[in-house]
Structure formats: C-alpha cells, structure tokens
Structure 1
Amino acid sequence: MNYTFLLYSDPTKFADMTAEDWAREKEVYGAYIGALQAAGVFVGTDWLQPTSTATTVSMENGTARIQGGPFAETVETLGGYFIIDVPDLDAAIAWAEKCPAAQYGKVEIRASAMGGA
C-alpha cells in the first residue's frame, strides 16, 4: 500500500539558515531517504519551492479563478512529501516518526486511493 507523507512546517523557522545549515539539512534528509531505500519502501519525494511561488486554481461558475499563493494562509505550510510503499498504517507511522520533518513540524500520513506500487 502506498502512503504519502505531507510535510508541514513554519517557513519562518528557516529564514535565517545559512548555506552550511541547508547543507546539514540536506544530509539529514539524504540519510532518511537512504534508510527508506535500504528498506525497499521508497517510492518518491520532492522538496517544494516556498509558498510565495504557489498558484492556486479553482473554478467558480465555470470560470477559472487564479490566485497567487497557497489555498490557505497558515503559519505551517506544505514543504514537501514522501511516498512510501509499506504493508499497513502501522508501518507508515513508524517511518513518519523517523522523518526529519517530524522533529520541527508535522507529518500528515495519507493512504493512496489508488493502492500500491
């Protein structure tokens, strides 16, 4: 079964990060990706650009409404995701607990409506 981890965090906590801080952050996530790959559960991941680059599209009475920015203005924003293939929710929770984003934000787990890989 595929599960997607939606990674939410407060982007203001990263505003003062140096190039060295970002390099360390990439190393931490690289190790997590390596662990997922070694376990044979890794499907995919992406780190998203800031919400300032977002565009939201909705249809109102048959007319497209295009809005700059994310759908909801919140402190915590969606910053990326992982897709893993594990047997059940308990296994997904175990991997989410190890996700670096869980240390400073939230990891929302969603089961795929389309099944597994």
Structure 2
Amino acid sequence: MEFVLAFQQPLEVYEEYSAPHARQQVSQAWKQYMMAMGAAGVLRGGKQLDPRRASTVSFFEGRRQLRHGPSVLSDALLGGYVVIEVDTLEDALKWGELSPSSLAGFTEVIPVLPIPGA
C-alpha cells in the first residue's frame, strides 16, 4: 500500500530552524530519517517544499481570490512530503511517528488511492 507522509509545522518552527545551529541539527535529523526509510526499502519519492512562498487560490461568489503566502486556514505549513510503500496503515503510522516533523508539528499519513482505469 502506498501512503503520503505530509510534513507540517507552524511558521514559528520554520523561523526557529533558520538559525545556523538549529538548521544543522534539523538537517541531520531529516537526513537520518530519509536514510532509514531508504534502507528499509519503503521510500518511493518525495520533495521538500517552500511553504512561505506559497500562493493560495480560491473562488468566492464566482470570482477568483488570490493570496500570496500560505493558506490562512491553517496554522501549519506543508514543508514537504514523501511517498512510501508499506504493508499496512500501522506501518505507515510508525514511519510518520518517526518523522522529525512530528516533534515540532505533525505528520499527516494519507493513503494513496489507485487511479481508476489505470
């Protein structure tokens, strides 16, 4: 089964991690986490995102609304994601639990649905 692990943290955490000593620690934690998933053979792909430079598009009363910056509907920013392949939801939850993001924010574990007709 494939799952997306979506790594989300509050803006304050991103600001806190921008300090050189904190950035080094966080980078090392993420490197170890990604290497562990690679070594276990579950990692299928993923990307780091820059949520502070996001734009949000919506429609209100039939008119497009554009906001430069992350969505105001959430206090957490989506900083990246990976796709993993594991046997069960419980396995995916364990990988989500190990994420550095789960310590300072949260990791959303989302099942990937098959594409109809594919």
TM-score (norm 1): 0.82
State the Cα distance separating 1:77 from its structure 2 match: 1.9
Unmatched segments (≥5 aa) in structure 2: none
Unmatched segments (≥5 aa) in structure 1: none
Task: Report the equivalent of 2:35.
Answer: 34
Question: What does residue range 14-93 of structure 1 map to in structure 2 within 5 Å?
Answer: 14-17=14-17, 18-51=19-52, 53-58=53-58, 64-93=64-93
Measured in 2, the distance between the counterparts of 1:112 and 1:103 equals 24
Percent pairwise identity: 26
How large is the Cα RMSD of the aligned pairs?
A: 2.1
Measured in 1, the distance between the counterparts of 2:35 and 2:79 equals 20
Residue 70 of structure 2 aligns with an amino acid whose one-letter code is P
Work out whether 1:105 is the aligned partner of 2:105: yes
Higher mean alpha-carbon deviation, 9-18 vs 31-40, is at 9-18
State the Cα distance separating 1:70 from its structure 2 match: 2.7
SS in 1 for 2:94: helix
Contact 2:16 2:22 survives alignment (8 Å)? no
Give the length in aligned residue pairs. Answer: 114
Q: Deviations over 1:54-76 (max 9, x none)?
A: 11233567764433223333322
Residue 58 of structure 1 aligns with an amino acid whose one-letter code is S
